[in-house]
Amino acid sequence: PAGSVDLPSEKAAAYVAANSHGSFQEGSDRAFVEVGGTASMRTAGAEGGGNVRRWMPAHPSGSRPKYSPVYDRHRQSFDVFIVASRDIGKGEEVVKPADLWDA
């Protein structure tokens, strides 16, 4: 149809492979594809670089609980949201770490 865009399936599959990550919830087969601002953010060259991180509050025990109603209620948020890992100065570029979505 007029005005439509034909995106070949190979290009779509390559985009998903390059811009998606799996869920951190054990047993989940969900994949999340970055399509917003994080997809266009520069990635730091080394692991641990960057000035943003995943939004996953540290648990007091030091590890992820096997079962927690609070964590379970917010698991999808932990899979998709990022927050500043330090103060980001005016005019400073926002950069995501290379290992942002690693488990």
pLDDT at 57: 64
Sign of the torsion angle spanned by Cα atoms 45, 51, 52, 53: positive
**Arithmetic mean of pLDDT, 19-48:** 80
46-73 pLDDT per residue, tens: 766 899 988 876 667 777 777 778 777 7
Strand partners, 52: 84
Q: Quickly state the pLDDT bin for 4 (edges 50, 70, 90).
A: low
3-state helix, strand and coil shares in percent for the chain, rounded to the nearest 5: 25, 15, 60
